[in-house]
Amino acid sequence: MAAQQGSSGLGRGFAFVGRRHELDRVLAAVRQPPAVVLVEGDAGMGKSRLVREATTILTSEGWRVLTGYCHPLREPLPYGPVIDALGAIGPWLPDTALPPTAGALAPLLPDLAHRLPPAPAGPQGPGAARHQLIRAVRSVLAHVGRVVLVVEDLHWVDDATRELLLLLARDLPDRFALVATYRAEDLPPGAPALGAAYRPPPGAGGTVIRLSPLTRTDVADLAGAALGGRATPELCAALHRRSEGLPLVAEEDLITLRDQARPDVRELERAEAPCGLREAVGERLASLSPAAAAVVDAAAVLAVPAGETLLAEVAALHGDEAAGGLIDALRAAVLRETDSGLYGFRHVLAQQVAYRHIPGPRRRRLHQRAIDHLRTEDPLPLVQIAHHTLATGDQQGWLGLVEQAAEQALALGDTGTAAFLLHQILDRCQVDTERRSAAALALARIVSYGVDYAVTVRELRAVLADPKLPDATRGEIRLGLGLVMLNVGADPAGSRELAHAVDELASQPHKAALAMTNLALYERDGAAAHAWDWQARAERAVGDSADGTSRRAVRINRLILMARDGDPAVWPLLDRLPRRDDAGAVLRHAAYALYALAEVALQVGHDRRAHALLSEVEDLVAHAAHGRVECLPRVAELRLDWLAGRWTRLEEEYAALADVHPDVRQIGVDRALCRGHLALARGRRSLAHDHFATAAATAGGTSEVDVSIRIAAALAAVQLAEGAPAAAWATVGPALSMLRGLRSWTRTLDLVPVAVEAALACGDHTSAERLVAEAESDLRDRDAPAASAELALARGLSLRATEPARAAEHFADAQRGWQEIGRPYEAAKAAERRADALSCSSPDEAATHLTDAAHTFTELGATGDAARCRHRLHDLGIQTSRRPGRRGYGTQLSPRELEVAKLLAAGATNQDIAQTLFLSPRTVEKHVTRVLAKLRTCRKNIHSSLPEPTEPSAQGQTRQ
């Protein structure tokens, strides 16, 4: 199968054969964006040619194609292959509408800086810079139309770029396709191409293409296109045997054969097939002029594409002699010119063959000449100089250069190259303890900022596996591992790593104290019982320390524990805590500490204080940004919006936050919980159940205790609403065990009243009363407004059947408690409970409370709850009515029809609408028919046909 000619050497192209099926797969995937296409194949198998053919076709169809290359000797540049590719994006950048996040690329793309938004303030810390750049790359790619990013030789990619590509693959822009080539045998053992297991996200496509050798027919087609009638069947068979179907080997032989008037099959047959490439390249090397051979030797030693001047310097040639030698090497197709005007080998295999042809003494002289010339450049290409220094046999000189290169890479923000260099140091046996420790610690700090949890843990464990590390170094690295496992992965095994790190850090008590404070905050598996013991150990550890940061961290940890315990003395102490410091690390720690206190404040019911703390955190984050420090407070703010009744744009805000931070699990958990609560408030029980189940699956079985309790309470609430009290009681059981394990009932998080209601619905009054008694005993003299309001609600539930008047008093206490905290939805639910308790003894008062609750539910958008209240008002003989006005709505929707239309737009079935609005299925069917007729639409398109929202009508009541 012949196709378009490629270009190698001076026009010595070859037909595209044997890959039509693979080409169709690439094109089919990319044409249905978003997509990820991974092309795997051995060296010389034709990966790059396949991609080049595909992108040529895609370009003709209007796609924009950006290409970046990974190199084994790349000088530091953050996300180098991607940044190199983005350098060509200028003509496609829009004149307006690029988001501010794109400005982070301006310093790395100076030629395009005038087309990008202003660069944001530089974040402090490699993690913050990494997240900022990742967001910038995605935002630019999302605003340039249909675009394909090709990354060649992914097996050579640095860790930071691999993480960027993984995040892009997990959160693809709508009109974007990622195509990457790689050699599986050159990936780290057991590591996937993108560094972590990858599954396309919902709505995304793609494919993995594994190239196999060419068939005998394919090689015959290749030879026929190159040699015409000289490609006899015998010659084609010999080519296939020698190449074993590897396109590069067959092409190298054909380069030689094309210059022969009568290709000699017998001569071709004499070479051993496995050595075909080596012998084909060797034959052409032997035919080169002395000047061309010198240039090729220089190119082989340099190992990366180089300019004519550098090649001449290393080859020790001058003027026309150097130029002539380079031209001869190009004509012989030993070297090729790259798109950037540099010169190198057609393939790494050819470079390796040429390098092995150079005698040892000459190789060393060439490496030394390369060093001499590279040392004249500014800035120094330290990675290349280190490579050549090692090739000369200077181990100590190489070590010093690699350390300098790693420092240079870190200074430039290129953590991927820095990690690669530090790995090289640790892989050497003859490295002294001090240098090994420094390299291990630097690598651990880089790895800890990784965006993929599994990769981060694997890399840290690999560093820890070095038996030559001293205990103090091992302890510091293990401390980082434990923190990542607990804070990012919510893995209980992280607590064991921290406890181990405490012993290893005995000689560095201020660092051991950091492990102790985190162990004090760990709450699963009964660990909360030892919280104050760990806190006391941490305070003793830093008692005489000159490290102010450690003392501050331990002090803040005490405040967090006090807040968890409901100690009212904590808030004055917090108010006196110093906030400001010029050091970025201190600011980040302060931001995270205040966020932790805000979370506890929110959990115990000090919502206004939580809001003030989160505002402080936002201010601190602006000066010391870091991915998790930046996004977790925003998650808490959105949860606070839910509790405060600010529901209007909650779902959109969660979606936007998930787009920016797709790797933060807590966003997914809170988003699913929020969507579930909204669905339940709107009467969509089945949908609410699905969302709560998603939250549980996203959190996993090892999530933080407060998250597990919130999920259990939410699931049990919807199970009660569905009439499944036994399932609800089973759901709350493990969560109650966790709550008891905390040794404090200040953060019940909706669990106690739901559990009491489930026990009562199951007829287990003893368990319900015991729960109320436990909570009441523990909360005495504690500062926990939310838990106190929940306790009042639980008391009312336990008394509703036997002493409704007293139950109403407790529901009133709960209502007042929620109102003082600032949670209108919870207050309205308590008012509804209060009305239920008064319905027999004081129906008029009950109607008043039900009407108030219905009004609040309506204002919030809790349509299902509002409909339930109106239904109960009807049962009490109370008819809700609207302001006097015309009774006919003509072609406009009535208020009831508008409710039905909104539920239809949200995807509700007729049965869902009947449950939500307390209507019969027949009535719902009539409403749906009228709605669709008035809007002249169908169920599928009703969302786009809804009328603009208007202010809700005032509601009143009349007694029937």
* Alpha helices for 154-246 (secondary structure H): 159-170, 216-227, 233-243
Contact by Cβ (8 Å): 391, 363: yes
Q: Tell me: domain 20-210, CATH 3.30.70.20, correct?
A: no
Whole-angstrom Cα distance, residue 284 to residue 303? 19
**pLDDT in the model for residue 951:** 40
**pLDDT in the model for residue 259:** 66
What's the token pair of residue 541?
């550890």
Span(s) in the chain for CATH 3.40.50.300: 20-210
Whole-angstrom Cα distance, residue 338 to residue 349? 17
Whole-angstrom Cα distance, residue 251 to residue 10? 14
**pLDDT in the model for residue 273:** 37
With a cut of 50, list the residues of the chain below it in pLDDT. Answer: 1-12, 271-274, 625, 881-886, 950-960
Whole-angstrom Cα distance, residue 928 to residue 942? 11
Which fold is adopted by the domain 895-959? Answer: Arc Repressor Mutant, subunit A (1.10.10)
**pLDDT in the model for residue 348:** 74
Distances, alpha carbon 178 to alpha carbons 57, 67, 125, in Å: 16, 10, 28
**pLDDT in the model for residue 467:** 86
> Mind listing the pLDDT tens digit for each residue in 444-458?
877 766 666 777 788
Whole-angstrom Cα distance, residue 523 to residue 564? 11
Whole-angstrom Cα distance, residue 227 to residue 579? 78
Task: Please name the residues in contact with 370: beta carbons below 8 A apart, sequence gap of 6 or more.
Answer: 298, 301, 302, 310, 314, 384, 388
Q: In CATH, what number does 288-358 get?
A: 1.10.10.10
What's the token pair of residue 599?
């979370």
What's the token pair of residue 737?
């065990």
Span(s) in the chain for CATH 1.10.10.10: 288-358, 895-959
Which of the four CATH numbers 1.10.150.530, 3.90.1150.10, 2.30.42.10, 1.25.40.10 does domain 695-882 have? 1.25.40.10
Distances, alpha carbon 194 to alpha carbons 169, 180, 467, 830, in Å: 9, 9, 29, 51
**pLDDT in the model for residue 567:** 96
Strands (E), 773-894: 878-882
> Mind listing the pLDDT tens digit for each residue in 730-772?
999 999 999 999 989 999 999 999 999 999 999 999 999 999 9
Could you give the dihedral angle defined by the CA atoms of residues 623, 628, 634 and 636, in that order, rounded to the nearest 10 degrees? -130
**pLDDT in the model for residue 945:** 73
Burial of 921 (0-12, 13-18, 19+ CB in 10 A): exposed
Span(s) in the chain for CATH 1.25.40.10: 695-882
